[in-house]
Structures are given as structure tokens and as C-alpha cells.
Amino acid sequence: MNPSCRHKSRGYGPLLDYVTALTKDKNVSPATFNRMAEYYSNRQICEIVWLVASEHLYNITNIGLNIHSDMLCDISKRKS
């Protein structure tokens, strides 16, 4: 395995912590940000924030327009 891949795979935990805090709490502590910044560049962090924000906007827009998942969630539950 490429050493840089191992480095990035260790960064998934801090990345998930950051994205979870941003999504659920709408607030990220400096410690959480700093842990993620150990693994990702400023540009990558900006791209991550943009992806989270654009997905949030998409979801809020769908809720406002009463657009649902066409029962895709229900279909996955029936297969279980």
C-alpha cells in the first residue's frame, strides 16, 4: 500500500467527526477542525465544506418542495 494512502485512511475518522459536527450541530470545535487539518489541505477542507453545504441545501430544498425519496427507503426496508 502506498504510504500516502495509509496517511489519508487515518484521516477518515477526523473527517467524519468534522462532517458530523457540521451537519448535526452546525458548529465545529477548533479541536475537531485542527484534527482534520492534520490530514487535509485548506483547499480540500473548502471542497469538503462545499460538498456538505450543497447537499444540505439540496435536502432542504426538497423538503420545502415536498419532494421525497419516492419510497426508496421503504423498498430497502422490505428487502430485509
Q: What are 31-75's pLDDT values in tens digits?
A: 999 999 999 999 999 999 999 999 989 888 888 888 877 665 555
* Cα–Cα distance, 44 to 60 (Å, whole number): 24
61: containing domain: 3-79
pTM to 2 decimal places? 0.67
32 contacts: CB under 8 Å, gap ≥ 6: 14, 17, 18, 21
Our count of domains for the chain comes to: 1
Indicate the DSSP class of residue 11: T
Q: Tell me the CA end-to-end span of the chain in Å, nearest whole number.
A: 36
Residue 37 confidence (pLDDT): 95
